[in-house]
Structure 1
């Protein structure tokens, strides 16, 4: 496990063992691709960058590392906004694409209206009577 985590540039942040003898290790992922470029062995290799921003979606699983996103000047993007602000904020990589910000906000408005129309108003469900199925006090749905 140590060889794997070192090869994918993860750093150990904390280690511990509880009273039952079960160990825990917390890792930090890299925030830039510089570590990937300085590895002695290129194992696992870097993924082909032809898929761009969608490299994690709609592609078969492969044993390669996706490069961290960078802007046009080679600077790493910052992490996404925290929840719940992330729900309505545009992803950092959109700033490099023409009209992408406007399209993103139009798409967000479209889906917000659709959810409101269909799920909150269109189904005629009294949402105040819907209980969380994981509610331990529900007493078999009661």
Structure 2
């Protein structure tokens, strides 16, 4: 379960809210294949930007989690949070990588964000510390 952190500063709240709206717009696409293609296309579109450091990515991830809209009727999954983090970091002029992964026992899929130097943000959700995730795909 994700608990919302404290309300972030306005400089982080604006890109995080805009990025969450983009991620939720992708979620409303009617076919899952289209949703995944849109997520990967958005994640690949930020490759020309300079790399973000761990503190910046962690701060934007926490801002995205804090800016989840109350009016959204469905569940906001890790795919939306990680895509929103990539987009929010891109809106601030930096880049990070979207990572899709899985584990065998207990069988599950997960998405998180990786910095350019290989540090992970958001991979500790859903028991990630007890049962580590194996990265399957990393968007450049």
TM-score (norm 1): 0.23
Report which of the two structures shows the higher radius of gyration computed on alpha carbons: 1
Greater helix share, structure number = 2
Greater strand share, structure number = 2
Which structure's relative contact order is higher, taking Cα pairs within 8 Å and 6+ residues apart? Answer: 2
